[in-house]
Structure 1
Amino acid sequence: MKNLIKVGRARSNITQAELADKVKVSRQTINSIETGKFTPSTVLALKIAEVLQVNVNELFQLEDSDW
């Protein structure tokens, strides 16, 4: 699954640590999601989208390999 959290954070001018604090996870978790090492739960994905004020579909996109 492709994610655009880093782009969303840049648009919102928010650091990994700030985003992590707002969604109640570690900065390392945000980093792992951004680098594709970890796929967030639906709840976490929705929380991230809410904090960044975007639709979850704008942050997370399925790739052909996900099917």
Structure 2
Amino acid sequence: MGRRVGLARQTIAAIEQGRHPSSLEVAFRIADGFGKRLGKGFHWNSSRTASPDHDP
């Protein structure tokens, strides 16, 4: 996945584990890597930062 979205695999792992602050650039790269619009893969939770659109 890292190669697909242009990020290091360590960055992807850190995001998944909640140890890396997300950014719009990262969110757009991930969405683009899957051929999706940003709003299709992420949602805003006002008590947290943006997160993948699924329950942990």
TM-score by length of 2: 0.61
What is the distance in 2 between the residues matched to 1:59 and 1:24? Answer: 17
1:35 aligns with 2:35: no
Q: Deviations over 1:1-46 (max 9, x none)?
A: xxxxxxxxxxxxxxxxxx2112322111111112222233212211
Q: Cα 1:34–1:65, aligned 2, differ >3 Å: closer, same or farther? A: same
Structure 1 counterpart of 2:53: none
Structure 1 counterpart of 2:42: 60
- Higher helix fraction: Structure 1 or Structure 2? 1
Q: Cα 1:47–1:60, aligned 2, differ >3 Å: closer, same or farther? A: same
Q: Relative contact order (alpha carbons < 8 A, sep ≥ 6): 1 or 2 greater? A: 1
TM-score by length of 1: 0.55
What is the distance in 1 between the residues matched to 2:16 and 2:3? Answer: 16
- List gaps (5 residues or longer) in structure 2: 50-56
Q: CA RMSD in A?
A: 2.1
- List gaps (5 residues or longer) in structure 1: 1-18
How far apart are 1:61 and its partner, in Å?
A: 1.7
